[in-house]
Amino acid sequence: MITPIKHLTKSYLFFLLAFSSFLGTAQLSDLHYLPPMKQGQNNAGIQNQAIYLSTPETTPFNVYVYRGTSNTIERTITIDNLNPGVWTLGNGDNNITLVDNNNTGVVLTNSGLRFVSAGGEKFYVNYRGKSGSQAASLTAKGRQAMGTNFKWGGVPNKGTHSSKSNTLGIMATEDNTTVVLSGYDPGCEFRVGGNRAGITANSHTITLNANESFVYETYIGNTHTQAHEDGWIGASIVSTKDIVISNGSINFGSQDGQSHRDAGIDQPVPINKLGKEYVFIRGNGNTNGLTEFPLVIATADNTHVYVNGSTTPLATIDNGEYFKIPSSYYSSNSVGANMFVQTSKDVYAYQSMAGSSNLYTQGLNFVAPVNCLLPDVMDNIPDIRNIAGTTVTGGLTIIASVNTADSNVKVFEDGVEISKPASDPVAGSDDWKTFYIPNLDGDISVTSTGPMAIGFFGYNGAQGVAGYFSGFDTVPEVVLRINGGVEGECFSGSSIFEASDDNFDAYQWYFDGEIIPGANSFEYAATIAGDYYVRGTKGPCTYDSQTIKIFYCEPDVLIEKTVDKPEIVEGETATFTIRAENLYFND
């Protein structure tokens, strides 16, 4: 078998790496965007909808809500820590948060929402929706959701049903923003109005002005194709100015040939805010592995995936490819079990989890990488069991530092501290432990003396839901600048990289995901083309830069051949894999 040869687009070299860390709580922000999305059939995925606003601020303040490109305030919501706000929206395809066919595949000026605090106060925005048998939750990521380079994410959408569909909503933050969608399966078709296959080209370009939106849909319906099952996962969304996206599936299923379904959506952050270490906590799904699994999407070629501390990669994937990690790698088959995933390069991490053992109670979370700057307060998740009018049964998940005593992780229900079970260790990690706390109700807040991340999942009958509330604005941001040379130059034998501000205790440089022995200075002179990043250490914490690639001036193609068996005998079959990479600085 010969794998497809990928066409590699060249980027820049001579980069200056600048580290700047953000302290604060994860999705807290003074500004949030909610791009519109698309469901396969009106009201079949999401009908009733509500947006929940909360804040740790004790003094009341106003949040102004704007629709589309309008500068007229659509609604004013006053909140403080003891008084969250709830806005109940119009049902189904209201063309605000969910659009109908006529508003799919076209530029929109009257859809999507932005939330702005009156005085710069920070707050959370959590969208929740449900229909008779489905439910979904999406937590807006605030300013951390803004960026210019994303991957379309979610999990494979198997089986058929008239409501099954995959969606991507894009909202621009500035005028004259060009957005290119590419890297999807050539068989993918995107809706334009009533035509489910209105866009069939191998890439698609749109131009948006500030606060305009565009919604893509790959519709499965009752006609299943491999391209629409997973060919959109890992597609590149690249823009000339900052955009915000939301993505997932409304509805999706996890079993071939079946019609079971639920809604799964979330709002990811751009590639420069991802990481390499993730902890996942298992939901309440059954043991067949269909609903309980993490999925990682590579943002660079030759990304190794390691699980539970193993030094042998479980998989190696290239840019835009995904790997679905079997549920057997959770620490057990019970709710609250955990899994530790490390990758050699930054990845998007999604998690499918179920509220019950039924296959139709799935939810979807976009999961943040673990790091020492995770917040120590989550204050608060309002009315945690209320999903736009449905009361769900479920539990809270907590990832906490092993250096934090269990007693210092405190959970409050309507202001009253509740008891919790002992923590569970995370195999392969010396830094993290987890908790699972079932049957919470009301407004939930969590405090700790160390870093932590918070999630939730639940169900009511056939309605399954999952939400993730922590971690994204604490990921250290790496700013890339050209350090000498001319933009677009090729590798000329020595490229100097620097970790600016020289304020880390130690440094370690990596080449193609492997340690470079002795490369421990804040600067490094590269000698060959390839992928580089630096890991800075400060106290007990480590922070990785983004991976940067340099290329040769003369044409150079790297060919790697591997075989799955060292030797074979007559009648056996060996599988050869050939991988070609262009190291020349031109395409």
Tell me how crowded residue 571 is: count the other CB atoms within 10 A of its CB: 5
- Give 169-207 as a DSSP string: EEEESSSSEEEEEE-S-TT--EEETTEEEEE-SSEEEEE
**Is residue 45 in some structural domain?**
no
- Residue 7 above 60 pLDDT? no
Q: Does residue 248 fall inside a structural domain?
A: yes
110 occurs within a structural domain:
no
Kindly state whether residues 436 and 498 are assigned to the same domain.
no
Check whether residue 256 and residue 315 sit in a common domain. Answer: yes
Range with top average pLDDT, 24-28, 306-310, 540-544, 572-576: 306-310
Is 42 part of a structural domain of the chain?
no
∠ CA 457-460-463, nearest 5°, is 75
pLDDT at 499: 58
Whether residue 100 is contained in a domain is answered as no
190-230, pLDDT tens digit by residue? 999 999 999 999 999 999 999 999 999 999 998 889 999 99
The verdict on 436 and 521 lying in the same domain is: no
Query: What single string gives the DSSP state of each residue in 491-541?
Result: B-S-EEEEETT--SSEEEEEETTEE-TT--SSEEEE-SSEEEEEEEEETTE
Give pLDDT, residue 59. Answer: 97
Residue 343's CB is within 10 A of a number of other CB atoms, namely 26
Does residue 545 share a domain with residue 488? yes
| Cα–Cα distance measured from residue 61 to residue 49, given in angstroms and rounded to the nearest whole number | 24
> Are 223 and 305 in the same domain?
yes
419 and 499 housed in the same domain: no
Instruction: Give the structural domain span for 565.
Output: 1-21+476-587
Do residue 202 and residue 324 come from a single domain? yes
pLDDT of residue 5: 30
Region of poorest pLDDT, from 15-24, 72-81, 258-267, 349-358: 15-24
Q: What is the CA radius of gyration of the chain?
A: 23
Q: Is the peptide bond before 251 cis (omega within 30 degrees of 0)?
A: yes
Q: Are 387 and 130 in contact (CB under 8 A)?
A: yes
User: Does the pLDDT of residue 9 top 60, yes or no?
Assistant: no
The residue out of 462, 497, 527 marking a domain boundary is 462
Nearest C-alpha neighbor of 143 from the set 29, 26, 245, 22: 29
* pLDDT of 470 over the 70 cut: no
Amino acid at 406: D
Last residue of a domain, one of 421, 440, 462: 462
pLDDT attached to residue 357: 86
In whole numbers, what is the pLDDT of the chain averaged over residues? 87
Over 90: is that where the pLDDT of 180 sits? yes
Please provide the distance, in angstroms rounded to a whole number, between the alpha carbons at the two ends of the chain: 25
> In this structure, how many other beta carbons lie within 10 angstroms of the beta carbon of residue 20?
10
d(CA 63, CA 118): 6
List CB contacts of 218: < 8 A, sequence separation 6 or more.
165, 166, 188, 189, 190, 191, 227, 228, 231, 232
Q: Tell me phi and psi for residue 210, to 5 degrees.
A: -55, 130
Q: Does one domain contain both 336 and 402?
A: yes
Q: Grade residue 566 by pLDDT with cuts at 50, 70 and 90.
A: confident
* pLDDT, average across residues 341-370: 91
Are 451 and 493 within one domain? no
As for how many domains the chain has, the answer is 2
Q: How many CB atoms lie within 10 A of CB 193?
A: 13
Instruction: Show which of 398, 428, 462 is a domain's final residue.
Output: 462
Task: Tell me if 109 is assigned to some domain.
Answer: no
Bridge partners of 401, per DSSP, are 432
**pLDDT tens digit string along 376-410?**
888 888 888 888 888 888 889 999 999 899 999 99
Q: For the residues 417-444, what does the mean pLDDT come to?
A: 93
| 185 inside domain | yes
β-strand pairing of 377-381 with 362-366: unpaired
Rounded CA separation 74/82 (Å): 24
As a whole number of angstroms, the distance between CA 546 and CA 477 comes to 9
Burial of 390 (0-12, 13-18, 19+ CB in 10 A): buried
In a domain, 573, yes or no: yes
Are 480 and 433 in the same domain?
no
206: tokens are: 């749109």
> Are residues 412 and 513 located together in one domain of the fold?
no
Indicate whether 440 and 547 sit together in one domain: no
